[in-house]
Amino acid sequence: MLLILLIGGCNDIKQSSTLGDILDTGVLKVGTTYGLTTYYNGATGPVGFEYELAEGFADYLGVKLEVFPYYNLDDLFPQLTDAHLDMIAAGISVSPERYQRFKFGPGYQRVSEKLVFKQGKEWPRSIKDLKGDLVIAAGSSHHDSLLRLQKDNEQLSWQETDDSDMEELLEMVLSEELDYTIADSNILALMRRRYPDLSIGFSISPEQDIAWAVNKDRDDSLLAALIEYFGIIQNNGILAALEDKYFGHVRQFNYVDTREFIKSSREVLPEFKPWFVQYSNDLDWRLLAAMSYQESHWDPKAISVTGVRGMMMLTLITASELGIVSRLDPEQSIKGGAKYLTKLLKRIPDRITQPDRLWFALASYNVGLGHLEDARVLTERQGANPDMWIDVKIRLLQLRQKKYYKTTRYGYARGNEAVAYVDNIRRYYDTLVWLDEQQPQMLEPEITPDETSTQDGSEVAD
Cα 109 from Cα 343, distance rounded (Å): 37
The per-residue pLDDT for 417 is: 92
The CATH number of the domain covering residues in 2-107+211-250: 3.40.190.10
SS3 226: helix
SS3 219: coil
Instruction: Name residues whose C-beta falls within 8 Å of residue 401's C-beta, 6 or more positions apart in sequence.
Output: none
* Exposure of 433 in the CB half-sphere (CA atoms within 13 A): 12
The per-residue pLDDT for 252 is: 73
The per-residue pLDDT for 60 is: 97
Asked if 449 contacts 275 with a C-beta cutoff of 8 angstroms, the reply is yes
0.85 cut: is pTM over it? Answer: no
**Matching fold, domains 2-107+211-250 and 113-205:** yes
Regions of the chain short of the pLDDT cut 70: 1-16, 43, 446-462
The per-residue pLDDT for 456 is: 40
Which option is the CATH number for 113-205: 3.20.20.70, 3.90.180.10, 3.40.190.10, 1.10.760.10? Answer: 3.40.190.10
Cα 284 from Cα 266, distance rounded (Å): 18
Cα 204 from Cα 115, distance rounded (Å): 7
Cα 371 from Cα 128, distance rounded (Å): 54
The per-residue pLDDT for 165 is: 85
State the greatest distance between any 2 C-alpha atoms of the chain, in Å, as a whole number. 82
Task: Domain 255-451: give its CATH architecture.
Answer: Orthogonal Bundle (1.10)
State phi, psi for 394 to the nearest 5 degrees.
Answer: -65, -40
Cα 176 from Cα 300, distance rounded (Å): 38
Burial class (CB in 10 A: 0-12, 13-18, 19+), 13: buried
The per-residue pLDDT for 3 is: 44
Indicate the residue type of 326: S
The per-residue pLDDT for 351 is: 95
The per-residue pLDDT for 16 is: 60
pLDDT tens track for 377-394: 999 999 999 999 999 999
CA 277 to chain CA mean position, Å: 24
DSSP line for 34-100: BSTTSBEEETTEEE-HHHHHHHHHHHHHTSEEEEEEES-HHHHHHHHHTTSSSEE-S--B--HHHHH
Count Cβ atoms below 10 Å from residue 446 Cβ, excluding itself. 7
Asked if 54 contacts 89 with a C-beta cutoff of 8 angstroms, the reply is yes
271 is catalytic: no
Cα 264 from Cα 150, distance rounded (Å): 44
Q: Of 167, 295, 331, 373, which is the active-site residue?
A: 295
pLDDT tens track for 243-274: 888 887 777 777 888 889 999 999 999 999 99
The per-residue pLDDT for 43 is: 66
Cα 372 from Cα 425, distance rounded (Å): 17
Parse the chain into domains and list their residue ranges: 2-107+211-250, 113-205, 255-451
